[in-house]
A and B are shown apart, each in its own frame.
Chain A
Amino acid sequence: MKYTEKKVSVPLCAVSTTPGLVNKTGSWKFAEPLFIDRVSPCNQQCPAGEDITGYMYLASQGRFEEAWKLITEENPFPAIMGRVCFHTCEEQCNRKDHDEAVCIHTVERFIGDYGLSHGLKIDVTEPEKDKKIAVVGAGPGGLSAAFHLRKRGYRVTTFDRHQKPGGLMWYGIPAYRLPKDILDAEINRLYEMGIEFKMGVTIGRDITWDALNTQFDAVFVALGAYEEAGLSIEGINKQGIFEALRFLREINLGKKPKYGKNMAVIGGGNSAIDCARVCRRLGAEATIVYRRTENEMPAHPEEIAMAREEGVEFLFLATPKEVHGQDGISGIKLEKMALGEVDDSGRRRPTPTGETFDIDCDGMILAIGEGTRVDDLPPSVSHKKGVVETDQMGQTTESSLFAGGDIIDIPHTVTHAIGSGKRAAIAIDRFLQGHKAEDIALDQFKWGDRGNISVGLMKGITLFMRRNPSLEVIDYKNMNPFYFDHRPQIKNHRIPAKVRLKGFQELITSPSEQEAVSEARRCFMCGSCTECGNCYIFCPDSAIRRDPVGYGYIPDMDYCKGCGICVNECPRGAMKLKFME
C-alpha cells in the first residue's frame, strides 16, 4: 500500500505550542536556597588567621604562587610556619571525623619552600605614607607587625637587643626543627620590603622610651619571654646546671657550653623536649624529669614521640629536691610526686609524697618556664604579673603604644605571636587614621567568633573567591561527606633516628610537589563553594545556573520550588535553606 499524504484541516492530535517557562513555579516556595560561604574550623583555629581552605584550594590545582601570596596576606613566614607551628588547625579539621585530618602543615611547608626556591617577593603596593612606626623586638610578633605595617606603606624601624632578627625563632628553636638558612631567607624578604632593622639596641637603655615616642608616630612592643624561672634548692649554683633558653641560645650560636654526658632536663614543656633532643644530638644521654605524667605534659605529643625515638628517657612524677656533687653536679635527689586535684589549668596538680630517691647525672637543664620582663616599659603602660594589659587588638593603656607576642595574654607560640603582630598592625593603621583601634565593625573580618582577623577578608578581594562570607563555622555533621572518598593522610618523611643523632640536620624532609598536591586534594574545603556542581546536577527544576559573570552558581528564584535538595547535597555546607516569612 502506498502512503499518500492527505490534507486535513484539524490537527491529528493536540500539540503543545507554549514553552513551559511561563509556569513561574518559584511562586510555590516557602524556603529559598542561599549560597553562603561559611568558615572552616581550621581557619577559625589558626592563631595567625590564615585562609587555610583558600590556599589548599589553590595548591590542589598546583597554583602554588597564588597559594603563597594568599598565605603571605596573613603571615610573612610560610616556610617557617610549615616547620615550627604546632598546627592546632589539624586538631580541628573536619576530615578527622571522616578518616584522618589533612596534613595542613606539610602543604604549607611545601608552599613556603616553593616561595623560597622561586624567589617570590612581597610587593608593597600601597602608596608610601610619611608616618613612622617603631617596632621593639624582632621576634615573630615584631616581625609580623613590621611586615603588615610596611605592606600598608608605613615607614617601619625594628629594634632588637640581639644581633640577629628572629627572636626565639633564631635563639630558641634548634636547627633540626628550623634550619637557619630557611629562617634567614624568610626574614631577608622583610629587609627587601624596606623595613629598617637596628640590631643590638636596647630600648630603655640605648634609646629612652620618651625619645622613641617623640621620633615615631606609634610603637609596637613585643619583648618576648626571656626571663627564666629558677629553682631555689640546695646546690643549684653548682657547675653544669643550665637554664633552658641560655643553653639553647649557646647551641644556636654555635658555641659549646660545658655540658655533661648524662643530662637531666627538668620540665615538661616544649623547651624541655628541645633541650633533651639537643643533648642527644651532642652525644649525651638525656632524661626528662617531670613532676606530673605524660598526659599533663604541655609539650606537643608529636615532639614527645620523636624525642622517644631519639632515645630520650622520661622520669615522671618526680621533682628535684637537692643537687649532689662537689664543685660540679654529680646527681640529684628527687622527690616522688602523686597526682592530686585538678587545678586551674585543667590538669591534675602534683602533690609531694615525702619519699625521695637519687639519680646520677653530670649536667642539668632547667626548663621550668619562661617569664617576661615588662618593668622597663613606660609607666603609663599598665601590666599585671608580667602581662601587659591590652584590648583585643593589642592597644595598651598608652594609646600610641601597642603590644604583642609573649608579653600579652596569649599562648606563648610563634603562631600566636605572628597573629598578635598582625592584629596590632591593623590596629595601628586604624589608630593613625584616626579610628578607634578596637571596633565591633572588625568582627565581620574574623574567621568565626574565635578566629583571628583576616587581611584577605578586609580587602574583600582574595585569590580564593568567597561569596557572601558569614561568620558561621561549619562542622562535619552539617556537611555531606558521602561525596568524599576515604584516603589516608600523607606521612612526613623523617630521617631515621640514628642519622638524626649525628648532627643538627633537619629531621623532616620536604614533600614532593605531587605529594603536596595530593594532600591538598584531601582538603574538604569546608564551607566554601568550589563549583563542584552538585547543586546544579541535583536540581529537579533545572533552576540552578552558572553565575554568568562571577564564580559559582546562582538559583533561579522564578522556578526554584525551595525543595532544599541542593542544600542537602552540597558536600561542603556552602549553602543554606532560608525559610521565608
Chain B
Amino acid sequence: MYSLNQRFDNRDIPEDELLTSGNVACAGCGASLSMRLALKGLGKPTVLAVPACCWTIIPGAWPMSIMDVPFFHCAFETTAATISGIKAAYRKRGMDDICVVGWAGDGGTFDIGIQALSGTAERNDDIIYVCYDNEAYMNTGIQRSGATPIGSWTTTTPVKKPKSEQKKDIDAIMIAHKIPYLATATAAYPHDMIAKLKKARSIKGTRFIHLLAACPTGWRMPENLSIKVMRLAVLSNIFPLYEVENGETYRQTVLPDEIIPIDEYMHLQGRFRHLTSEDIEDYQKMVDKRFEYLKERFEKGETSAAK
C-alpha cells in the first residue's frame, strides 16, 4: 500500500486479519467491517463476548465461525457482566495481558445491557466495551431502539408516526461514570478508529468505544454507500469523532475541512425520506446545538492539555 498522494497514509493499517472471509452479514454491512478494523487495532491476545445482536450471527451459524480470536456468545443483558467475569477469571489465572472486549449492538447497550454496563463502569473493571451503533434492532427486523434518532423510520415507528423521542446520549452517560477512556469512531475513518482501539488497549480500567456502523438494510440505502454515509455523518457533525479521558478531557480527533449540511447525510437514507425541509431545518438546529455543547468541551480540553 503506497497512498502516495492521499490524505491518509494507508501503510499505517495493519495487514493482519483476525477474522476470515465468509461472514454472513448483509452486503455492505458497516458492523462486519467495524469488527474487522477493530481487531486490526486490538490485535492478539483478545477475547470477545457478544450478546444477542447482528454479530451473534455474522460469524456463521454453529458449528462455523470466521473468528480467529475466542468469541463468547452471552445473554442479551449480560455483556458487561460477562466480560467483567472473564477478566476476573483471567486475572486470577495470571493471564492479565488478555484484553477482554464486549462487543454489543445499540439495543444491547443503550437499552437492554445498560444496567450491567453501568455497574461495570462504576466498578471500573478492566475491560473494553464496544458498542457498534446501527441505530435500531437490525438483527430482529429494524425495530426502534434507544439509539434510533428522532424522526427516523423503523418497522415499529412507521412513516405516519416516526420516532418522536431523542436518541439517548450514551456517550454523556458513560462520561458521567468518569471512566478512564471513551471514544467515538467509525469505519469510514479507519486510521482514527484503529488508533483509538490501540490507545484503549494501552489503558487500564473501563474503556468505552462508540462506533457508528451503517446498516444499508435498516437505513434503507444502497449497500455501496455504507462508508460514504458514515463519512457524511462525521462531516455533518451528526457523529463527531472525539475521545474523552477520565470523563473530563475532551479532544476532537477528526476535524472536517468543511461542515456539510445534514441534508446531504439524510437524503441518501430512506429512513429519513419522509422528513420535510422544515423538519430537516429543525434537525440541523438540533445537531448544531449538540455540537456547540461538545465544542465548548473540546476547547476546554485543548486549554487543559496545553497546561
Partners in one complex: yes
Q: Mark B233-254, 1 if CB is under 8 A from A, else 0.
A: 0000000000000000000000
Contact of B6 among A19, A57, A562, A571 (CB under 8 A): A571
* B146 CB-CB contact with A under 8 Å: no
Check A534–B4 contact: CB distance below 8 A: no
Cβ–Cβ contact A484 & B23, under 8 A: no
Closest residue on chain B to residue A95 by CB atoms: B5
A569 to B187, CA, bound (A): 12
Contact B24 A485 (CB under 8 A): no
Contact with B along A556-581 (1 / 0, CB 8 A): 10110111110111010000010000
B64 touches A16 (CB 8 A): yes
Q: Of A86-94, A261-269, A423-431, A536-544, which binds chain B?
A: A536-544
In the assembled complex, the Cα of A530 lies from the Cα of B9 at a distance in Å of 13
Q: Which of A138-160 contact B (CB under 8 A)?
A: none
* CB <8 Å contact, A485 and B7: yes
The tally of residues in A whose CB lies under 8 Å from a CB in B reads 53
In the assembled complex, B301 has its CB within 8 A of some CB on chain A:
no
The reply to whether A569 and B227 form a contact with Cβ atoms under 8 Å apart is yes
Alpha-carbon distance A22/B24, docked complex (angstroms): 11
Q: Interface 1/0s, chain B 55-73, versus A by CB < 8 A?
A: 0000110111111000100
Residue pair B226, A19 in contact (C-beta under 8 Å): no
On whether the beta carbons of B64 and A20 are closer than 8 Å, the reply is: yes
How many of chain B's residues touch chain A, expressed as a range?
Answer: 35 or more
CB–CB A563/B224 < 8 A: yes
Assess whether B5 is in contact with A538, with CB atoms less than 8 Å apart: no
Q: Contact between B257 and A486 (Cβ–Cβ < 8 Å)?
A: yes
Residue interface bits B10-29, CB-to-A below 8 A is 1, else 0: 10010001011111111111
**Contact for B22 among A17, A20, A482, A486, CB less than 8 A:** A20
Residue of A with least CB distance to B33: A540
A30 — nearest CB in chain B belongs to which residue? Answer: B27
- Residues 404-433 of A contacting B (Cβ, < 8 Å): none
> Pick the contact of A565 from B5, B37, B224 — CB < 8 Å?
B224
Whether A4 is near chain B, meaning CB under 8 Å from some CB there, is no
B4, B29, B63: the one contacting A57 at CB < 8 Å is B4
Instruction: Please tell me if the beta carbons of B6 and A542 are within 8 angstroms of each other in the complex.
Output: no
**Other-chain contact of A525, B5, B59, B231 (Cβ < 8 Å):** B5
Chain B residues lying within 8 Å of A486, measured Cβ to Cβ, are: 257
A540 to B2, Cβ gap below 8 A?
Answer: no
**Residue B184 CB within 8 A of the other chain:** no
Q: Is the CB of B226 within 8 A of A563?
A: yes
User: Is B223 a contact partner of A564 (Cβ separation < 8 A)?
Assistant: yes
* A542:B24 contact, CB within 8 angstroms: no
B198 contacts chain A at the CB level, 8 A cutoff? no
- Residue of B at shortest CB range from A20? B66
A229 to B60, CA, bound (A): 81
Q: Is B32 at the interface (CB under 8 A from chain A)?
A: yes
**Which of A14, A485, A522, A565 is within 8 Å of B227, CB to CB?**
A565
A-B contacts, 29 of them at CB < 8 A, read A14-B63, A15-B63, A16-B65, A17-B63, A19-B20, A19-B22, A19-B64, A19-B66, A20-B20, A20-B59, A20-B64, A23-B24, A24-B22, A57-B4, A483-B6, A530-B4, A532-B3, A536-B1, A539-B33, A540-B29, A540-B33, A541-B21, A541-B32, A542-B19, A542-B21, A563-B216, A564-B222, A565-B224, A568-B224
A contact set with B: CB distance below 8 Å: 14-25, 28-29, 57, 60-61, 482-486, 521-525, 530-534, 536-543, 556, 558-559, 561-565, 567-569, 571, 577
